[in-house]
Amino acid sequence: MLERTRPVLDAGYIELLDLMGDESRIVKAARITTQTQGQPESDRRLLERLLRDGHNTVFEPVHMSWQVRCPIFVARQWMRHRIGTFNERSLRYTTIGDEDTYYNPFPSDSPLAYQWDLQMQSQFATYGSLLNSGVRPEVARGVLGTALYTEFMWTVDLWSWTNWYRKRCAPSAQAEHREYAQASLDLLGEKMPVFAQALLRIDSAAAACS
């Protein structure tokens, strides 16, 4: 049974909500140009060549929607790519409750984890006090840090997703964001294994040449 959700970090996740199109649509988009037909093996080679040579238009007919729960600082990096559409939870129309949590990057028995927890709990307490004093939620949220988890839906085409994945799996990318990118590829790879394997082969070859 194919997975749709992967846990990420200590309390986050990424879920593949919907996938419109598949590998056959990529090949069909390419072959409509030349009006040719192919066999499974030649289609696989064609897909890999298209990906290697950067023929983005044949990948754009495939669209997907993701639901993500991640720290705000990861979400802000994500949205800086300016690709696809985003719908994020609003702390103007919702308020932080007992079910909400935050990311702690340190081992639970670490003194740094204890300091982190104290700071976040202080933020939550101040936030609650502001709300109880009648401060509007959209103003009170200003005391909350970017380690707080947020949720959003992301709808994107496959070529734009590929650009995001390559940037966020790069060695220089922030480790927390790399985990979401890897989980995303794992889920997509269950639906589109030929594409995922081709992407990994091509990127591995490119890395070896750099």
Residue 6 a catalytic site member? no
Q: Give Cα 107 to chain centroid, integer Å.
A: 24
What is the distance between the alpha carbons of residues 149 and 76, in angstroms, rounded to a whole number?
12
Q: Which of 4, 31, 76, 168 is catalytic?
A: 168
1 token code pair: 């049974």
Residue 73: closest CA among 96, 105, 100, 97: 105
State phi, psi for 126 to the nearest 5 degrees.
-65, -40
Q: Are 92 and 131 in contact (CB under 8 A)?
A: no
Q: Which residues pair with 64 in a beta bridge?
A: 19, 156
Nearest alpha carbon to residue 166 among 129, 110, 209, 206: 206
Alpha-carbon torsion (131, 134, 135, 136), positive or negative? positive
| Residue with the two structure tokens 């992301």 | 154
The sign of the torsion formed by the CA atoms of 65, 29, 161, 178 equals: positive
**Which residues form the catalytic set?**
168
